[in-house]
Amino acid sequence: MKINYSCDCCGEDIDTLEVDELDEDKLGFSCLTVKERESILKYDSLSNSLQVLSLCDQCIEELGLAEEIAPLERGFIH
């Protein structure tokens, strides 16, 4: 299965993963609510692919979200 990540803000392709089996726990999708899943994940059974809407680095910077994400990247969640 192909997992295509693209930016929800600018539409830029971020990355594509090829996996044998979709493991939602490993990919972090299992923690999403039903509403978040409907908004972020788009399954295409015909092409056996998953489209994941995210934000690219440039949009994170332009939206001023980099400061909010930085503590998570350093491992400080609380």
Read off the pLDDT of residues 25-64 as tens digits, 9 standing for 90 and up: 888 898 999 999 999 999 999 999 999 999 999 999 898 8
- Taking residues 4-14, what's their average pLDDT? 96
- Taking residues 15-28, what's their average pLDDT? 91
Q: How many CA atoms lie within 13 A of 55 on its CB side?
A: 12
Cα(37)–Cα(19) distance, integer angstroms: 19
Beta bridge partners of 45: none
pLDDT at 64: 86
DSSP letter for 59, please. H
